[in-house]
Every structure is written in C-alpha cells, then in structure tokens.
C-alpha cells in the first residue's frame, strides 16, 4: 500500500469514527433558553441512556411511546434538545404527574423538560418518553448561528 493510500484509508477511518461518536445539532426554537437559544449549534456525544443523569441535556429522536404514536394533537419532531428531569424509577415531576397520572417514571422511560416552560413542548405534553430514543448528550454550545453575536457561556454537562 502506498503512503497516499494509507493516508486516505486512515483519514476515512478517522472521519467514520468522528461521525459515529459526535453529532452537531442546530437548535431551533427557544424551549431551552437561556441555556441554548434559537440558532445555536451544539456538540453532541452520541450514546445511549445508560449513563444519563437528571439535569443532563440530551438530543432525543423518538419514538416517544411504546406504540410509536404521538399523543393526539401533538406533532413529534425528528429530534429535540431537552433536559432530563427524571429517569426510570424516579418520582414523577408534578407537572408531568398531573398530565400522566403516574407517581413514578416507568421502566425504560424518562421525563424530558425544556428550560423555558412557556415555549417548550415536552413531557408535560407527551408524558414519559422511551429511553431508547436518546441520540446523545449535549456536551457544549459550539457556536451561535452564523451572523448572530455571542450571548452567553457555553453549557457543559
């Protein structure tokens, strides 16, 4: 194998590793303000829900429920950025318990809330969601949308 070929193979393997490990997501909407604002770009470490803690900000990409149908009157987005409010076995947060009727979060489920409750569609509407919908953990804000000024300190998990 020539040096150029080896370099190309190594570069391709490196790019594949990056794409499987990291994801860059553009935030749309103000549901996570002030931590993340519309147009912010965040760096996400891909992974599963096993290592999550309450307070982590994640990217979630459904399915929402076991039957994979959103509740009546709601629209399930392809991916959302939300904060983990409760994990399996935790007490159900009051705002969700009032809607859902449960006292603890069911196994294989979690509760996701937006930081800006007035602008967020989250588990207060959906109820608990399936943990297997986790796409990754938001590590930090890497940039505002081009043309926007900086407005805060990047969030860290």
Q: How far is CA 81 from CA 41, 86, 87, in A?
A: 11, 15, 16
Tell whether 13 is covered by a domain. no
Tell whether 11 is covered by a domain. no
At 131, which CATH number?
A: 2.10.109.10
Tell whether 89 is covered by a domain. yes
pLDDT, mean of residues 36-57: 90
Of residues 105 and 77, more confidently modeled:
105
Query: Is it the case that residue 27 has pLDDT exceeding 70?
Result: yes
User: And the tokens for 135?
Assistant: 């796409």
Tell whether 153 is covered by a domain. no
Tell whether 10 is covered by a domain. no
List pLDDT tens digits, range 105-157.
Answer: 999 999 999 999 999 999 998 889 999 889 999 999 997 766 655 543 333 22
Tell whether 94 is covered by a domain. yes
| Confidence at residue 37, expressed as pLDDT on a 0 to 100 scale | 92
In Å, how far from its chain's centre is CA 16? 22
Domain ranges, residue 125: 23-143
The total domain count for the chain is 1
| Confidence at residue 59, expressed as pLDDT on a 0 to 100 scale | 93
Tell whether 45 is covered by a domain. yes
Tell whether 148 is covered by a domain. no
Look-up: residue for tokens 């935790």? Answer: 90
Query: Is it the case that residue 13 has pLDDT exceeding 90?
Result: no
SS (H, E, C) 77-141: CCCEEEEEEECCCCECCHHHHHHHCCCECCCCEEEEECCCHHHCCCHHHHCCEEHHHEEEEEEEE
Q: Binning pLDDT at 50, 70 and 90, where does residue 47 land?
A: confident
Query: Is it the case that residue 10 has pLDDT exceeding 60?
Result: no
Please give the model's pTM, rounded to 2 decimal places: 0.76
Query: Is it the case that residue 41 has pLDDT exceeding 70?
Result: yes
SS3 content of the chain, % helix, strand, coil (to 5): 25, 25, 50
Question: Nearest CA to 46 among 27, 23, 80?
Answer: 23
pLDDT, mean of residues 56-74: 66
């Amino acid at each position: 194998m020539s040096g150029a070929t080896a370099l190309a193979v190594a570069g391709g393997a490196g790019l594949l590793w990056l794409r499987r490990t990291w994801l860059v997501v553009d935030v749309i909407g103000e549901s996570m303000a002030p931590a993340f604002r519309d147009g912010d770009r965040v760096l996400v470490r891909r992974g599963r829900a096993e290592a999550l803690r309450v307070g982590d900000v994640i990217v979630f990409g459904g399915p929402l429920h076991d039957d994979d149908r959103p509740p009546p009157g709601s629209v399930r987005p392809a991916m959302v950025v939300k904060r983990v409010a409760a994990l399996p076995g935790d007490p159900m947060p009051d705002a969700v318990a009032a809607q859902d009727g449960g006292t603890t979060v069911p196994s294989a489920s979690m509760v996701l809330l937006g930081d800006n409750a007035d602008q967020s569609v989250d588990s207060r509407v959906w109820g608990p969601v399936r943990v297997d919908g986790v796409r990754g953990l938001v590590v930090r804000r890497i940039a505002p949308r081009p043309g926007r000024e900086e407005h805060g300190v990047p969030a860290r998990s």
